[in-house]
Structure 1
Amino acid sequence: MEMKRFLTCVAVPAFLCSQAAAVEIAPDAVKIDEMKVSQSLTGATGNAEEGAKVLANRGLGNCLACHVVTPLAKEQFHGNVAPALDGVADRWSEAELRAIVVDAKRVFSEETVMPAFYSLEVGINVRKDLAGKTILTAQQVEDVVAYLTTLKGSK
């Protein structure tokens, strides 16, 4: 009886994990339609707290290199090359924000310096160990989008 309960406890989480992985949309399967990605890349809502960490992390999103984000004022070196993200949720819908984070070049133009965070089309001369990889994972994109949707009202 104890072995049966053990196997059930092991099998159920494994099943749930495989179901969650099955929902994730691969980078080359993401459809940007009318400047929107309406469907979550993971099938779940992102975590805004984690999104703030990704946005501020210089090894991940590094969004602060170009954008000012007043709620993250404790972080150093906010850039002024791109628009401030304060009030961004008033300017763009969740689906539009997701499309911008996934691939700003497909939303705005090829001239934007904002990288495509969830695309395999990242330019030329990519380091061999990074080829075929996205800058952010699908979950990190959802987390960043969740955080961006909290940035309402100009500050």
Structure 2
Amino acid sequence: MKITMIALAAVMAAGAAQADDVAPGDVQFDEYGAVAASLSGTDGDPANGIKIMTSRAKGNCIACHEVTALQDTPFHGEVGPVLDGIGDYRSAEELRGIVANAKMTFEGSVMPAFYKTSGFIRPGNAYTGKAAKEEELTPILSAQEIEDVVAYLLTLKES
């Protein structure tokens, strides 16, 4: 009985944390694409940020970006800029905006919008040629995963 109550409290707390997430359509970008407020209301976890950045099932950031600190993970890309030292010259707010939707900062960027659910030109299954989905899409990363990636990026300093 005691374990059940603890489990129920944990589920309720997780639901409350989820309820505090800023919905993708409600993200407030400033004129330069930065996002001032945390999307999840919870500090990011840099260790989880590494997992997201190197996971092909999630962010897979290193498919396009090189990160010297992640050399143990193969196949770093050259499409995007090298991320070494980014924590020295970008703020959490700037990084949050770029990871959520880079096009708000860099018009014409090929970087995917990791926290966007609408406004796509051709959502659908490009591999089968099926028509686009009618329902709203889910974001690639959750609000907390965005915060985790930002927390890791902030650790990438030259000094």
Which bin holds the TM-score, normalised by the shorter protein?
A: 0.7 to 0.9
Q: TM-score, normalised by structure 2?
A: 0.84
Structure number having the greater helix percentage? 1
Partner of 1:51, secondary structure, is: helix
Aligned position for 1:137: 142
**Gap regions ≥5 residues in structure 1:** none
Aligned position for 1:150: 155
- Give how far 1:131 is off: 5.3
TM alignment of 1:82-101, pairs within 5 A: 82-101=80-99
2:40 is the alignment partner of 1:75? no
Partner of 1:18, secondary structure, is: helix
2:22 is the alignment partner of 1:49? no
Label 1:14 to 1:63 Cα distance change in 2 as closer, same or farther (>3 A). Answer: closer
Give the % identical residues.
43
**Gap regions ≥5 residues in structure 2:** 126-132
Q: What are the superposed Cα offsets for residues 76-119 of structure 1, whole Å, 9 maximum, x if unpaired?
A: 1111121100001112100100000000011110x111010001
Q: How many residues align?
A: 150
- Give how far 1:44 is off: 0.3
- Which amino acid in the other structure matches residue 66 of structure 1? C
Superposition RMSD in Å: 2.1
Alpha-carbon distance in structure 1 between the residues aligned to 2:82 and 2:74: 15
